[in-house]
Structure 1
Amino acid sequence: MIDYRHQPSHHERYDQEYAGLPVAHVLWEEEDGPHPEAGAAAWRLHASVWDDDVPSFIDEVLNWFFDHVDTTQVTAVVVGNWGECTDIDSQIVVQRLSAEAARLPALRSLFFGAIPPEEAEISWIQQSDLTMLLEAFPRLERLEVRGGEGLALRPVRHESLRVLRIETGGLPSTVVRSVAVSDLPALELLELWFGVNGYGGDATAADLAPIMSGDRLPALHHLRLQNAEFQDDIAAAVAGAPIVARLESLNLSMGVLTDTGAESLLSGQPLTHLRRLSLNHHFLSDALMTRLTDALPDVELILTNQRKNDEWRYVAVSE
């Protein structure tokens, strides 16, 4: 089940629950109790060069998973650290999962890079081209990614994907443009964390134009464009975007949203149809917060974490 109200944190390691299922850890030790049924758990694949309780290399974890678990029944997988994730990119895991796709016919939910800051800061995680995963799993409904360094994605058509979330401290513009021109007819929730230019976040509001039109996203009802230095520009684009009229929730949180962006929202198309508007972590004045509250009395308006509206303005997640 997808909780459209929940706003995940990049501190979450998904070692207890994911996609509504309890998490089973590979390798499963006999002393941990009976082996869980394959389809009754989300399987966490995790290696570490610092933790003596788990293998140092992800190959060993993947081998155990495919040798000991009836993977034909697995519906959810959480990929954690693949070892030295700040030095080695994720391609080894991408290729292995893609090559074994026939052994994972029931896979519907995949979190790729569930690595918390205490293991690696979000902008240190070395990702890679993840297009192969979408091509290999045409029935995947939920793809969530953490880490933007080296992240790549080619435009795709995917008939089943309902949720796409990408958490980064710096999202490459090439990825944003690929998402924007992909055909995702089933997508209900899109979430992008843009981050900062210093960590590769070089996108602009112009890159979002195909998303704002909504032409390739007929099922989208929850749009989250977050953690941007150019949050005011996003707000201005949203103010006239055709897709907004059919949204249930809009999230422009975590970024550098100022009174300029709020004015755009207030002067643009009506937002009164929204069930929820999140502007959490913002640089709005008290006066603009009051105007938004007055203008949207029936909308669940999230205005928490008001930051000081001074010269130093920052996104919630960068390094």
Structure 2
Amino acid sequence: MGIYEHLTEFAGLPVAEFGPSGHLSDKALESPASYAWAVRGMGDGVDDFGTVWANFLRTVDTSGVTAIVVGYWSPYDEVDVPSLLAGSASALPALRALFVGDMTAEEMEISWIHHVDTTPVFTAFPELERVEIRGSAGLEFEPIVSDALRVLRFESGGLPASVVRTVGRSTLPNLEHLDMWLGVQEYLGDATVADLEPFLSGTAFLRLRHLGLEDSEIQDEIAAAVAGAPVVAGLESLSLAMGLLTDTGAEALLSGQPLTHLKKLDLHYHFCSEEMVERVRAALPGVAVDLDDRHVFDPDDGFYVEVSE
């Protein structure tokens, strides 16, 4: 499955489009701080991302803008997007939420979205409370040190172990929400359960209330590790969705520590049997359990995660 729609809401705000093909809303221009602004390039040498970004800063009063969505940039633009954003920090003093890579499959398959060192973003915007990144090719950054960051999300068809380990070495005392689409090895997703230990141990992020370890071809192994992981006791929601979860992984969850304190357990998109689906629901009557999108193993197609290429 690919991603076929742009964000229409981000960080609790409606998205206002700014780009060559978008209609510039007069209402948004009158109240720019009431919107998350999506800036998109075309990569045609005229409306490349750098040009559109400069036009955005000239056109919109960004002094009160709190949320930015970075859309399409062409790999041929030769624009270092993180450095471009960092160089504009003085124009965005109120920025608190950033989404990088809001591209549909028609624009760029998720595995083709190419990043560079993203460290400048975290350095230039120390007050960021929410960072979401789509795509993982070339993605790297130094361990993050931030008292402000509360939400960190990675959407990918394969999240490199190096990125997972860097997050685990980060100092984020107030992080509450962590999502990682781990993906498959074919698309750089080579993280192992051992790489997840800082998150599972509960020692890395003491205020974590949501943990998502999703879209993985080792989902059963992750479920078995989560079943005894200290971090679970402090969570309000847990997601092991989108991956190759089978009865083996679900059985491990049921046999492990209690999950009845959770408000939500997201296991949607899975390969569990109907009998196991009923067992999980029966075992957690007070928990909002999402077991939608059940798949049946097909020898011709094999197993496949929800998002890869």
TM-score of the pair, normalised by structure 2: 0.92
SS in 2 for 1:47: coil
Change (3 A) 1:299 1:97: same
1:271-290 maps to which residues of 2 (within 5 A)?
Answer: 271-290=259-278
1:25 aligns with 2:20: no
Deviations 1:219-277 (A, max 9, x none): 11011110000001110110111110011100000000011111110111111111110
The equivalent residue for 2:305 is 315
**Shift of residue 49 of structure 1?**
3.7
1:11 aligns with 2:14: no
1:246 aligns with 2:246: no
**Shift of residue 102 of structure 1?**
2.3
Say if 1:163 and 1:189, in contact at 8 Å, map to a contact too: yes
Query: RMSD value over aligned CA atoms?
Result: 2.1
1:77 aligns with 2:106: no
Change (3 A) 1:165 1:30: closer
User: Which letter does structure 1 place at the counterpart of 2:199?
Assistant: I
- Larger mean CA deviation between 197-206 and 62-71 belongs to 62-71
SS in 2 for 1:140: coil
1:207 aligns with 2:173: no
State how many pairs are aligned.
304
1:19-98 maps to which residues of 2 (within 5 A)?
Answer: 19-27=11-19, 32-33=25-26, 35-49=29-43, 56-82=47-73, 84-85=74-75, 92-98=80-86
**Shift of residue 68 of structure 1?**
2.3
Runs of 4+ in 1 over 3 A off after TM superposition: 9-12, 27-34
- Larger mean CA deviation between 222-231 and 123-132 belongs to 123-132
**Shift of residue 11 of structure 1?**
3.3
The equivalent residue for 2:134 is 146
Say if 1:236 and 1:265, in contact at 8 Å, map to a contact too: yes
TM-score of the pair, normalised by structure 1: 0.90
Structure 1: distance between partners of 2:273 and 2:297: 7
- Larger mean CA deviation between 64-73 and 116-125 belongs to 64-73
Change (3 A) 1:38 1:233: same
Q: Which runs of 5+ in 2 are unaligned?
A: none
- Larger mean CA deviation between 65-74 and 29-38 belongs to 29-38
Change (3 A) 1:267 1:31: closer
Deviations 1:22-75 (A, max 9, x none): 32232599985363323122111101147xxx9531111111122222222110
**Shift of residue 281 of structure 1?**
0.7
- Counting aligned pairs with the same residue, the percent is 48
